[in-house]
A and B are shown apart, each in its own frame.
Chain A
Amino acid sequence: MSNNFFTRVAGTIPWTYIVRRTLYCIPVYLGILMLLMLILRVRDPVPAFMGKNASPEEIELKRQEVGLDRPFLIQYASFVGKLSIFNFGEESWQQKGRSVGEIVGGGIGPTLALTVPALTLTTLISVSISLIAAWFRGRMVDRSLVFLAVLGMSISFLVYIIVGQYWLGFAIRSGDFAPFAISGYETIQQAGLWPYLTSKWPYYCLLPVMISVIVSMGYDTRFYRAVMVEESQRDYITTARAKGADERRIMFVHLLKNAMIPVITRVSISIPFLITGSFLLEMYFRIPGVGRALITAVNQADFPVVQTIGAVFAAAYLVTNLLTDVLYAMVDPRVRLT
């Protein structure tokens, strides 16, 4: 059965399209990289890094050391060359002894520990709520859900963080009862896989994930509800009803399947941000993720880290776009990729 399943799935994958789009992506990516590198060089990053006591000679030496004295095209070629072989070994300017790969790579785990559960839960809950809202369209349940969604998204992310951290991280504590950490993080390597999953992750990450879900849910629910309502008014729904299909089947089979394209679009737009994380959550909860690394690098004028995270993010965005288009074709046979 599983062989059949994989064969069927593989048969739906538009391989030619993927190859062609990948080839198209290369010049786009090269263009993005050039733009990124140009923007980061508009103002010389070296004096900002070297600080107030540096002499002009010291600034020039640093420029030579990091290769910023070379012609732009050479720098560009060198950076592209390194990226093409996944060489992220360039040393951070601020954290001497640590490579950019080490900084970014070290942050990906903690970031994904927050963003993947948050995105998964947000999507599941939002789609479910929007289905309920669409089911009860125009009635009190629908209006209440929309009201709560608007209310949820009207409150600043920071308020949720500050209030959540205070009440659930601090005020709820009593003796040994401390369900959520005020802040902090432990990696799987430090804790071990099972302790990490069963106690460390919930202790350190569940509260920020809950906050992230609550904040995102408002936006997602409103959007998905609109999609569901629109789909519920289509002809095929009327036809299904005319044929005597069960309302639940109409809702969860016919409607949900056809509403998947906007859902996929919205989810896939979020995927690149899974890597960059939420710097606000990471800063307040002291989770050493990529978002925090990026903000720290920007604040400290850590040029190689900023440049590399920018390049990685651009790549993630392009790949996600490609995957989204492929998924469209797979879930909706009406979509024909040319």
Chain B
Amino acid sequence: MIAAFTTQHAQTRLILLASLLFAITGCWSATGEAPDPKDAAGNDGTAEEKVGRFPMRSEGPKTLDPVLGSTVYDNRCCSQIIDTLLQYKYLKRPYELEPQLLTELPVEIETPDDLRKTAFELAEAARANQLAEWEAAKKLAAENGDPPPPEPPEVPDPNPITWKFTLRDDIYFHDADCFPEGKGRKMVASDVFFSWRRMADSTIGSKCWWLMRDSIVGFDEYRDDQLKKIEGKPDAHFDYTADVAGFRIIDDQVFTVTLKKPAARFMWVLAMFQTGVIPHEALEAYGSRFGIRPVGSGPYTLSEGDWQFGLQMILRRNPNYREEYFPEEHMPEDEEVFDLEKAKGKRLPFLDTIYISFFEQDQPMWLHYRALDFDYAQVPDENMPQVFSKRFVDGKKSLVLKPNWRDQGVRYEPVPLLDFIFIGFNMDDKLLGGLGDKATKIRQAISSALDWDERNETFYYGLNVVYDGVIPPLLEGHPENGESDASFRGPNLERARKLLAEAGFPNGEGLPIIDYFVSQGRNNREQSEMLSRQLSAIGIRIRPNLVDFPTLMQTVDDRKAPFFSFAWGSDYPDGENNLALFYGPNESPGSNHFNYKRDEYDRLYEKIVGMPPSPERTEIYIRMQDMLLHDAPYAGSMARTRHYVIHDRMKYFKPVETFANWFKYVDVER
């Protein structure tokens, strides 16, 4: 063959080919000269530097601008950089709030008379507006020969409540070139209101207005005014300094917020990353690039170029971080896991640099973890049998680390999620909807026929939590042992058949095929098959419609899905968040996708939203939940569990999925 390459051209080609192969492979040494696999950026810390390496099972956040973010991944990255007024107590369960940027928790004060008056005037004006719109709609309907629209529900009188906030005086924003001489300035009260006004600005794509809507005196009016002012003016923007009646600045550190009515959830909202406080200078300097070059007051900073999209993010310790120390409050079981004495009095954060690596696929993430590249990982479903043995402890199935993993110094922590996985009914549907006896019995029959334990066993290794009701485990109102006497959860085929017969469809005879809507992806097709089989046992036939998620949402919002599968992750750890899913005024396209309407339930809901946590409130939660269990606007429920494995070099890590600013509490000793 070589003879063929004897011409001059052939020799040139040979040399070129050899050069190419040399360039590709020749210079590469496969004996350890390859870069440290632990650091894809080639930017490892010095020996003294403390480095954390954490994986994230996603392509990463989309933005670090708090008002534009919405996913848990946005939250997890943003929360290290931008602080909120309140935070969760790291080691305390059940979850409790504590001040973060404040000197103390907000204090309730008497609402000033002028503000009270304003609240009433604004409420009257809003009501008048609403009625005028209704009249106009009525007139239009009459002209078109359509039925008149329903009268808007009565709005209760405002019951303003004012909270006083005091900012710590040692909070400084990160050093950044948006500030004079690049030195981060002190945070003041106006920064809080500046940041919150951005939540109202839909022109920048804010995704979190729902957190503030209909809660603060004058805030909805501010938004409407701004929208009117910019209408038809493409270059006009919201004025983030314009007046909001309920926002008052007393001095640089002290401010008050007046709510239209008491709302317990407002405090939870103040710990959500979307309400994080940012400096106006950064917005002015970076514009929409703020989302990739954020400035806050958090324990870590993100420099330009330290975020490689889809690959990794490098967070570096904020040298100006306020004095904050490892918390002393903890649960008794924490003492068994952590050397809390060692952490006591230590200043936060522990780590100098944190590498967050993003993974869309589980296999590489898991292999990196096994190669000790990461300090912890969530165990992917397909690797569960490799890591755990199943055991029955106190009659409950639980997981135990296999000996070879324990020997490597790996620790296991299960983290139940605040999940409500259910199959919902459209209460507006002619066959399945309404609170009439017949439809209720069909829904109860369906609930009784479904075997959630089989679903859990088949698709989730039996490790999810199956429970009655709508309030997930760990929250007030969750039934004891997850079981309630009022529940129709199956499998109880005898009861299901009886209920179906009482509804007038013995053995499902005469019952039309029910359209079932579920999103494509994962194993939903197989789950639909199981659902079909379970219901066919009592003679109910369903037609599964597997659609993409936006189509599912649209179909449900349009009330065209009689039977559908969804999941809800609690926005904050309070059962009220889940009970709101059945509040009448939240009907589709709101979060009440079931279009469940029951006056008694709605009245109780309106009562609990203003109540602080108390046994009395929990009692009402249970009453409301019992109504839902009886009326069965859904069948369920189930909550997922995440399974964390942690190398012993990672200290003080108590895995949590409810809040995200825990990076500052963990240490890594290599």
Contact = CB atoms under 8 A, between A and B. Distances in A.
Given A197-B23, A203-B35, A292-B310, A186 B42 contact: yes
B311 A286 contact: yes
Interface stretch (B151-159, B289-297, B473-481): B289-297
A288 B312 CA distance: 10
Nearest to A60: B202
Nearest to B365: A183
B363 A165 contact: yes
Instruction: Give the secondary structure class of A's interface.
Output: helix
A94 B202 contact: no
B371 interface: yes
B367 interface: yes
B57 interface: no
A38 interface: no
A241 interface: no
A53 B308 CA distance: 29
A91 B288 contact: yes
Interface stretch (A28-36, A147-155, A247-255): A247-255
A198 interface: yes
Interface stretch (A9-17, A76-84, A95-103, A308-316): A95-103
Given A95-B63, A186-B41, A52 B553 contact: yes
Contacts of B25: 202, 206
Contact of A58 (B27, B30, B209, B291): B209
Contacts of A337: none
A50 B361 CA distance: 25
Nearest to B556: A52
Interface stretch (A171-179, A223-231, A259-267, A268-276): A171-179
B292 A95 contact: yes
Contacts of B611: none
Which residue among B23, B27, B37 has the maximum number of chain A CB atoms within 10 Å of its CB? B37
A177 B41 contact: no
A170 interface: yes
Interface in A47-69: 47-48, 50-58, 61-62, 65
A199 B370 contact: no
Contacts of A190: 41-42
A236 interface: no
A124 B373 CA distance: 37
A97 B63 contact: yes
Interface string B300-318: 0000000011111000000
B20 interface: yes
Contacts of B371: 170, 173, 182
Contacts of A179: 30, 34
Interface string A182-226: 111110001100000111111110100000000000000000000
B28 A166 contact: no
A96 B28 contact: no
A296 interface: yes
A177 B31 contact: yes
B288 A97 contact: yes
B207 A202 contact: no
A54 B207 CA distance: 7
Contacts of A47: 550, 553-554
Contact of A184 (B17, B311, B554): B311
A197 B27 contact: yes
A199 B29 contact: yes
Given A91-B288, A97-B289, A283-B361, A202 B28 contact: yes
A162 interface: yes
Contact of A182 (B202, B288, B364): B364
Contacts of B550: 43, 47-48, 301
Interface residues of A, number: 73
A201 B286 CA distance: 34
B207 A50 contact: yes
B34 A61 contact: no
B130 to A, nearest CB: 15
Contacts of A94: 62-63
A96 B68 contact: yes
Nearest to B27: A198
A162 B29 contact: no
A304 interface: no
A62 B68 CA distance: 13
Interface string B110-148: 000000000000000000000000000000000000000
Interface in B36-56: 37, 40-42
Interface string B585-600: 0000101000000000
A109 interface: no
Contact of A198 (B3, B28, B37, B65): B28
A185 B209 CA distance: 38
B205 A183 contact: no
A181 interface: yes
B203 interface: yes
Contacts of A296: 59, 310, 360
Nearest to B293: A97
Interface in A100-124: 103, 106, 117, 120-121, 124
A98 B292 contact: yes
Given A58-B202, A62-B205, A178 B364 contact: no
Contact of A248 (B1, B28, B357, B370): B1
Contacts of A50: 207
Contacts of B309: 95, 98, 103, 106, 288
Interface of A: 43, 47-48, 50-58, 61-62, 65, 91, 93-98, 103, 106, 117, 120-121, 124, 162, 165-166, 169-170, 173, 175-186, 190-191, 197-204, 206, 246, 248-249, 251-253, 283-286, 288, 292-293, 296, 300-301
Interface of B: 1, 3-4, 17, 20, 23-25, 27-35, 37, 40-42, 59, 62-63, 65, 68, 70, 202-203, 205, 207-210, 227, 286-293, 308-312, 357-361, 363-364, 367-368, 370-371, 373, 550, 553-554, 589, 591
